[in-house]
Amino acid sequence: MIHGFPSRVHRDVIWPENNLTRMPENPTVSALLIREILPVIKFQELEVVNGDPPENCAVCLYEFEGEEEIRWLRNCKHIFHRACLDPWMDQDQRTCPLCRTPFVPDEMQEEFNQRLWAATGAADLYTEYTSVPGL
């Protein structure tokens, strides 16, 4: 018996998707996806991009500070503290707390749905494709 293969079976490949689909409770998959889509930047960086940003967060009413992480809603251009908006998303809200514009812009809706489908349907899909004896 000659084994021509070097022993390279190290199962150290970790699928990041598993973290996504196996969140114990909330946030929901859609909330996680929305977080990926909406950029988190520092307030001081936004000033460069946006020109004339609001000074206060509409959720907590505190002024934004330069180093604070904020989430920038692409669709309606409103900004909120990341810490203020994330709990809102955790309740499976998908619209801006201020103006009710959907977080996900129309042009990204399709991609969002696909990713949502992929994330939630991933478990079934992988079982089909991993019927190859792989150890």
Residue ranges in contact with Zn ion by CB under 5 A: 57, 59-60, 76, 78, 81, 84, 96, 98-99, 101
Helix or strand holding residue 30 (H, E)? helix 29-37
Closer by beta carbon to Zn ion, 46 or else 59: 59
Contact between residue 112 and residue 104 where contact means Cβ atoms under 8 Å apart: yes
- Shortest CB 73 distance to Zn ion, Å: 6
Closer by beta carbon to Zn ion, 32 or else 73: 73
Closer by beta carbon to Zn ion, 71 or else 115: 71
Amino acid occupying residue 96 = C
- Shortest CB 64 distance to Zn ion, Å: 8
79's CB contacts (< 8 A; 6+ apart) are 43, 46, 50, 53, 54, 57, 64, 70, 71, 72, 73
- Shortest CB 31 distance to Zn ion, Å: 17
